Amino acid sequence: MCSASAPSHARMGMLLFLSLLLHAFPSQADTRESRVTAFAKQAATCQSPGPATLVQLGRGLLGTPYGSVGEQGPKDEATGVVMSLAEVDCMVYLEWLLAANSLAGRPQAGRSDSLAQALLRVRFRHQRKNWAERHHFFSDWLDSGPLLRDAGSTFTGAKQRTVNLNCGDRKRWVKGLPCREQAVWWVPPAASTLDSLRDGDLIGLWAQKPGLDVTHVGLIVREKGRVMLMNASSRAMKVRLEPLDEHPAWKKGILVFRTQG
């Protein structure tokens, strides 16, 4: 007959095993929160904003899964901004780096609420959290105040081009938003371009489809004599380093943006 007395040794062992599993594999919400907290703490160790800080922060997110939590992810209570590093796409990856870079050297850098405010400034024009004010395109950041500047004019063979953002042949890429013209400097896929790229440059791989400026974005890192692209890759399904000149879209040319100052 079964007894309701103290659990058997086998059951006690199973309970201990399950307890260890719960501690070893935290819930998805806990994992998201810990990643954001760890990233905020990393930003607090950076002494000042700039290209070197962008690279340092970028390396801290290597291996992060590729994807998008969308607008339904966990939000900061004060700003309503989605705050998750469970996964990132290429634009969201750069958003986190730019936000944390802007806090480097400041006392509030290690706080997640400060990071949320910085993300709000990077993601939206005029810090207005709505779809129409979202920075949907790479070159939107050129019109967002003292964030980035177009460095393409300093490259050999660069040409200025006007992109009619959001206006495709038969549709608009982002529904509900108007078209707008944006002047950018297109930089050719040449050896001289590779020589002139710097650590911490933000680049976009040129798009040939009407209505788009770029098809992919990432951060430049010079490593062991090679120019590498640190990016959230949909091919590798994670944030990784890869040689820029081996990326399939490299031959179409690039846009090059740099932090102000």
Does residue 228 surpass a pLDDT of 80? yes
150, 206: one domain: yes
- Residue 152 CA to residue 193 CA, distance in Å, equals 10
The percentage of the chain sitting over the pLDDT mark of 70, rounded to a whole number, equals 86
Residue with the larger pLDDT of the pair 108 and 61: 61
166, 242: one domain: yes
Question: Domains in the chain: how many in total?
Answer: 2
52, 163: one domain: no
Last residue of a domain, one of 133, 150, 165: 133
Give the containing element (helix H, strand E) for 219: strand 214-223
CATH label of the domain that carries residue 36: 1.10.3670
Residue 6 lies in a domain: no
Q: What is the pLDDT of residues 53-107, one digit of tens each?
A: 999 999 999 999 999 877 667 888 888 888 899 999 999 999 999 999 999 988 8
106, 214: one domain: no
37, 114: one domain: yes
Q: How confident is the model at residue 33 (pLDDT cuts 50, 70, 90)?
A: low
189, 240: one domain: yes
Residue 188 lies in a domain: yes
Rounded alpha-carbon distances, angstroms, from residue 6 to 15, 18, 226: 13, 18, 65
Q: What is the pLDDT of residue 260?
A: 77
67, 165: one domain: no
Query: Number of H helices and number of E strands within the chain?
Result: 6, 8
Residue 223 lies in a domain: yes
Domain containing 192 equals 138-259
Give mean pLDDT, residues 4-10: 44
Let me know: does 249 contact 205? Beta carbons within 8 Å. Answer: yes
Q: Compute the mean pLDDT over every residue in the chain, rounded to the nearest whole number.
A: 86
Does residue 133 surpass a pLDDT of 80? yes
Q: What is the pLDDT of residue 261?
A: 58
142, 248: one domain: yes
Long-range contacts of 216-224 (CB under 8 A, 24+ apart): 216/90, 216/247, 216/249, 217/90, 217/91, 217/94, 217/138, 218/90, 218/93, 218/94, 219/54, 219/55, 219/58, 219/94, 219/97, 220/244, 221/55, 221/58, 221/59, 222/197, 222/198
What type of residue is 147?
Answer: L
CB contact set of 225 (below 8 Å; sequence gap of 6+):
none
Last residue of a domain, one of 87, 107, 133: 133
- Residue 123 CA to residue 96 CA, distance in Å, equals 10
- Residue 186 CA to residue 204 CA, distance in Å, equals 10
Last residue of a domain, one of 92, 107, 133: 133
Residue 188 DSSP label: -
Q: How confident is the model at residue 19 (pLDDT cuts 50, 70, 90)?
A: very low
Does residue 7 surpass a pLDDT of 80? no
Q: What is the pLDDT of residue 194?
A: 98
CATH label of the domain that carries residue 237: 2.30.260.10
Residue 71 lies in a domain: yes
The percentage of the chain sitting over the pLDDT mark of 90, rounded to a whole number, equals 61
Per the listing, tokens 């079964």 go with 2
Residue 237 lies in a domain: yes
- Residue 44 CA to residue 126 CA, distance in Å, equals 25
Q: What is the pLDDT of residue 144?
A: 73
Q: What is the pLDDT of residues 166-221, one digit of tens each?
A: 997 777 888 888 899 999 999 999 999 999 999 999 999 999 889 999 999 999 99
SS3 state of residue 249: coil
- Residue 132 CA to residue 38 CA, distance in Å, equals 31
Number of C-beta neighbours around residue 108 at 10 A? 14
SS3 state of residue 60: helix
- Residue 125 CA to residue 144 CA, distance in Å, equals 6
Residue 24 lies in a domain: no
196, 255: one domain: yes
